[in-house]
């Protein structure tokens, strides 16, 4: 298969001339192609088949020990002007980046097959979707892209109709950490990644395209590309709402996307459906509401901690047609990771013999790749060309004190300030000091493809008279008491906060107005069968004035760090909050 798109054909030919592959294979997405590549990966040792009786058509891949996670310090935004990349990104000039990458790619595919993967981020027929083509020398990447995107002939046909696509060039190279770079060229709609075979470094449709390049595209074209889950909530009366929520890592994002409500809610007829767990593209519809799609077709989830207790919907997906990366295995060759159950694995994530007490058997960032359609809470609306209308946007972080359980922004501009300054405290899992507040605007710190101040201005630009924008909220599931115990039970009980948020969207309950925003009356939070004392809930919904005054000082210093481009509206909102105390 080749193409009628001359620009695509010319690019593929130029890459082949540079990289010198032995073969070129255009990927169609067919069943036969899938089976052939799985067999190839089994034959060359990149895949190992897991126990067929318990995990049919599931495979284990063990990556190089130095290639196990995203590499933010080697990830660059390459714009003509350095200031356009912003202080939130590492920058390199396009000229220097192209020269560096062309040197690395020269001849790197000799003895290898060059795979050409046309793919669509989002439903094939959605006007919100965007297409790309990834060229790679990794069959493992092809098989992951097969699950994570709509890839193959239908995507190529859309590219041929539209003409535009994001160019992604990837090679595993020698897997040498000293020869590893990920370059993004937003002004060229192009990505070059060399020296890694892992996850978001190699699956260029994921963070590289769907966030770093797409956020730039979205700014130019009037939409939003966000690091957000999308879930649907249906109440007992059959009314549906859709919520988009942004959480940094380790804040329960996937668990919320696949939330199972408490038993009382289930008996009453509440239903949760999953549109996506990681990325959300939104644009204003003709009705002025924001309509959203999940541009991905699968989940690339963190395995450790996923269990029947924490996320039964996620676990249920993983018994068929899945790829596991860097997990451990049991004696009968089933995948295993910390937090799954009380079995002891026999092999660790590097394929070595494992005995109990040796440390982590699965890599802490080990992953599963699986089609979204395998999720028990999957919604067919994930394939809707128009997307789903968003009623509420939620920003979350991990704060042990100060930040209330839930708070509603006064309006869109205040909500943008809340999202721009949301933060988490570092935990023992991260290098460096514990308890340090780190801000992660809209959970986009590693992923915004341009200057954060311009990004905030773009968010503010949606506040127009004819737009019916979602209400904006912050949540914090992670408050602790003086003894270091979590005050809120979290997990499925977060449904109670969701219910209050949606009642606010329908004006069914009021708020207590405070300087930081609207807080619930504790009586409006459904407490049936909830094991929490009244004084604890009151504390979760209280405003610590002294603490917030210090917070506002730190917020202003943070905004100042982005220079003259920071929109005045954010400082105005900050002044309003301060004046409210």
- 116-153 pLDDT, tens digit per residue, is 999 999 999 999 999 999 999 999 999 999 999 999 99
Please tell me the predicted confidence (pLDDT) of residue 192.
98
* Residues acting as catalytic residues: 251
**What is the bridge-based pairing of β-strands 367-371 and 323-325?**
antiparallel
- The number of beta carbons lying within 10 Å of the beta carbon of residue 200 is 23
Please tell me the predicted confidence (pLDDT) of residue 435.
74
Identify the CATH assignment for 6-47+75-222 out of 3.40.449.10, 2.130.10.10, 1.20.1250.20, 3.40.50.970: 3.40.449.10
Q: Partners of 271 in the beta sheet? A: 234
pTM of the predicted model as reported, rounded to 2 decimal places:
0.97
| pLDDT at residue 46 greater than cutoff 50 | yes
Cα–Cα distance between 377 and 314 in angstroms, integer? Answer: 9
Residue ranges of alpha helices (H) inside 135-252 are 139-148, 153-162, 199-202, 214-221
CA atoms within 13 A on the CB side of 222: 7
Please tell me the predicted confidence (pLDDT) of residue 52.
98
Domain boundaries, the chain: 6-47+75-222, 226-297+380-579
Please tell me the predicted confidence (pLDDT) of residue 94.
98
pLDDT average, residue stretch 409-433: 84
pLDDT average, residue stretch 59-87: 96
Q: Which fold has domain 226-297+380-579?
A: Phosphoenolpyruvate Carboxykinase; domain 3 (3.90.228)
Distances from the Cα of 70 to the Cα of 25, 208, 469, 499, 574, angstroms:
27, 11, 34, 35, 34
Confidence of residue 1 (pLDDT cuts 50, 70, 90): low
Listed range (329-338, 433-442, 527-536) with the worst mean pLDDT: 433-442
Residues sharing a CB contact under 8 Å with residue 258, sequence separation 6 or more, in sequence order = 272, 274, 277, 311, 313, 314, 375, 377
Please tell me the predicted confidence (pLDDT) of residue 471.
98
Cα–Cα distance between 420 and 452 in angstroms, integer? Answer: 9
| pLDDT at residue 434 greater than cutoff 70 | no
Confidence of residue 432 (pLDDT cuts 50, 70, 90): low
Confidence of residue 2 (pLDDT cuts 50, 70, 90): confident
Cα–Cα distance between 68 and 352 in angstroms, integer? Answer: 16
Structure confidence by residue, pLDDT tens digits, 270-299: 999 999 999 999 999 999 999 999 999 999
3-state helix, strand, coil in the chain (%, to 5): 35, 20, 45
- The closest alpha carbon to 8, from 163, 113, 120, 154, belongs to 163
Please tell me the predicted confidence (pLDDT) of residue 429.
46
Cα–Cα distance between 203 and 148 in angstroms, integer? Answer: 9
Structure confidence by residue, pLDDT tens digits, 320-333: 999 999 999 999 99
Determine what percent of the chain is predicted with pLDDT higher than 90. 96
């Amino acid at each position: 298969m080749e193409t009628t798109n001359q620009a695509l054909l010319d690019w593929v030919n130029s890459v082949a001339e540079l990289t010198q592959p032995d073969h070129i294979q255009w990927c169609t997405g067919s069943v036969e192609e899938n089976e052939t590549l799985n067999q190839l990966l089994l034959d060359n040792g990149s895949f190992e088949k897991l126990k067929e009786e318990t995990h049919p058509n599931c495979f284990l891949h063990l990556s190089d020990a130095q290639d196990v996670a995203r590499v933010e310090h080697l990830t660059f935004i390459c714009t003509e002007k350095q200031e356009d990349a912003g202080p939130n990104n590492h920058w390199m000039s396009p000229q220097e980046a192209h020269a560096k990458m062309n040197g690395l790619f020269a001849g790197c595919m000799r003895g290898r097959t060059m795979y050409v993967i046309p793919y669509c981020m989002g439903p094939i027929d959605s006007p919100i979707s965007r297409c790309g083509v990834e060229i790679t020398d990794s069959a493992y990447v092809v098989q992951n892209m097969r699950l994570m995107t709509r890839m193959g002939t239908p995507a190529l046909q859309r590219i041929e109709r539209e003409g535009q696509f994001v160019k992604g060039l990837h090679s595993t190279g020698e897997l040498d950490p000293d020869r590893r770079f990920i370059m993004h060229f937003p002004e060229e709609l192009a990505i070059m990644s060399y020296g890694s075979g892992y996850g978001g470094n190699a699956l260029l449709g994921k963070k590289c395209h769907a966030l770093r390049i797409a956020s730039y595209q979205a700014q130019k074209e009037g939409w939003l590309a966000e690091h957000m889950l999308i879930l649907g909530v249906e109440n007992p009366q059959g009314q549906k709402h859709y919520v988009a929520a942004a959480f940094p890592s380790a804040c329960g994002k996937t668990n919320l996307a696949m939330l199972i409500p408490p038993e009382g809610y289930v008996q009453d007829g509440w239903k949760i459906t999953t549109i996506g767990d990681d990325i959300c593209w939104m644009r204003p519809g003709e009705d002025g509401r924001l309509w959203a799609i999940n541009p991905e077709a699968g989940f690339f989830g963190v395995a450790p901690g996923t269990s029947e207790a924490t996320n039964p919907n996620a676990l249920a997906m993983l018994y068929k047609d899945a790829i596991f990366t860097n997990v451990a295995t049991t004696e009968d060759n089933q995948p295993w990771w910390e937090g799954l159950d009380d079995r002891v694995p026999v092999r660790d994530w590097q394929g070595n013999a494992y005995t109990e007490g040796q440390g982590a058997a699965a890599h802490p960032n080990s992953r599963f790749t699986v089609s979204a359609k395998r999720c028990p809470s999957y919604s067919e609306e994930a394939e809707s060309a128009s997307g789903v209308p968003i009623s509420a946007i939620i920003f979350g972080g991990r704060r042990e004190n100060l930040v209330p359980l839930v708070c509603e922004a006064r309006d869109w501009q205040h909500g943008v300030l809340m999202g721009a300054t949301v933060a988490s405290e570092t935990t023992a899992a991260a290098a460096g000091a514990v308890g340090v507040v780190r801000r992660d605007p809209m959970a986009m710190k590693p992923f915004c493809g341009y200057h954060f101040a311009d990004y905030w201005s773009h968010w503010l630009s949606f506040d127009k008279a004819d737009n019916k924008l979602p209400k904006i909220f912050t949540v914090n599931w992670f408050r602790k008491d003086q003894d270091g115990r979590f005050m809120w039970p979290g997990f499925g009980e977060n449904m109670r906060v969701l219910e209050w948020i949606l009642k606010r969207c329908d004006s069914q309950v009021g708020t207590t107005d405070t300087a930081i925003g609207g807080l619930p009356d504790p009586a409006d939070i459904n407490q049936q069968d909830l094991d929490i004392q009244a004084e604890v809930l009151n504390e979760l919904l209280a405003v610590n004035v002294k603490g917030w005054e210090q917070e506002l000082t730190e917020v202003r210093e943070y905004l100042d760090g982005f220079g003259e481009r920071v929109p005045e509206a954010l400082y105005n909102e900050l002044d309003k909050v301060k004046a409210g105390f």
